[in-house]
Amino acid sequence: MALHDPHKELKAFKPAHKFFVGIDSDGCAFDTMEPKHKECFCPVTVWKWDLASASKYAREAWDFVNLYSTLRGCNRFHALQHVMDLLRERGEVQRRGVRIPQLADLAAWTKRETALGNPALEAEVRKTGNAELARCLDWSKTINEMVARIVRNVPPFPGVRESLELLSGKADMIVVSATPAEALEREWEEHDVARHMSVIAGQEMGSKTDHLRVATAGKYPPERILMIGDAPGDLRAAQANQALFYPVNPGHEEESWDRFVREAGPKFLAGDYTKEYEARLLAEFNKLLPATPPWKINTK
């Protein structure tokens, strides 16, 4: 039986225009990060990993990792490991005697797997019968069910539609995201913006770095490739592919999209999006997300 190729759709993608733009979805194009993490991801994590006796600290750790730190926007399976690591070392959690799992099997799987999504994890569970990975799969599937129920009627940020119209007919656009494809397709279709995108690439198609590499390598010069994102991982994906980056600043999303329509988008399409201009934007962006949790700073 032929092996499934997660990059098949990206490999088949062919340029129609001179420019290419990759756009992240959650927290960048759509204001969905807060409801997804606070109403779905974190409650399911407390439930499925028996963290009720440390729920306050679980919430703090989850929100820090996924919303308010340099880890913002990371894949959910990496996020789960980061959160458990933070909880395990926190004195308040230790004093409560809460058992925080090591997740060694999950860590090993995330190191060897490139398409970190439910299909790949499901295949691994079928093959190995690993109990820890089965629990992770149940956790992840339950999150998807909660997101489908709760996160609806959340439109794109103001300025996103105008940005897509500005780029339409001039640049090829794809969604570059660590979110499951089912949620991405539902959200982009629900608000009639999927029609602008050549591919909607989610976690099943690999990492964001993979998405950009497979979609653009040998097809566009670097100065005509732009990644729009709201997290350091988006920036790293752009840099790994020698692409330009436009930051949507967390907490200042509307202003960022307004600036894209007025200034950054026209500069990019005119070939005037210089490294000096990008550096000015990154100086703002890099100040917004800390690497150290506030509870570690406050105890020093």
- What stretch(es) of the chain map to CATH 3.40.50.1000? 12-31+156-285
- Backbone region of residue 97 per phi and psi (left: phi > 0; alpha: psi in -120 to 50; beta: other values): left
Please state which architecture CATH assigns to domain 12-31+156-285.
Answer: 3-Layer(aba) Sandwich (3.40)
Task: Select from 263, 257, 287, 258 the least CA-distant residue to 277.
Answer: 263
Chain segment 23-46, per-residue pLDDT in tens? 999 999 999 999 999 999 999 999
* Beta-carbon count within 10 A of 73 CB: 27
User: Dmax of the chain from CA atoms?
Assistant: 60
Counting Cβ atoms within 10 Å, is residue 213 exposed (0-12), middle (13-18) or buried (19+)?
A: middle
> How many Å apart are CA 230 and CA 35, to the nearest integer?
16
Chain segment 109-132, per-residue pLDDT in tens? 999 998 899 999 999 999 999 999
Q: What is the pLDDT of residues 245-269, one digit of tens each?
A: 999 999 999 999 999 999 999 999 9
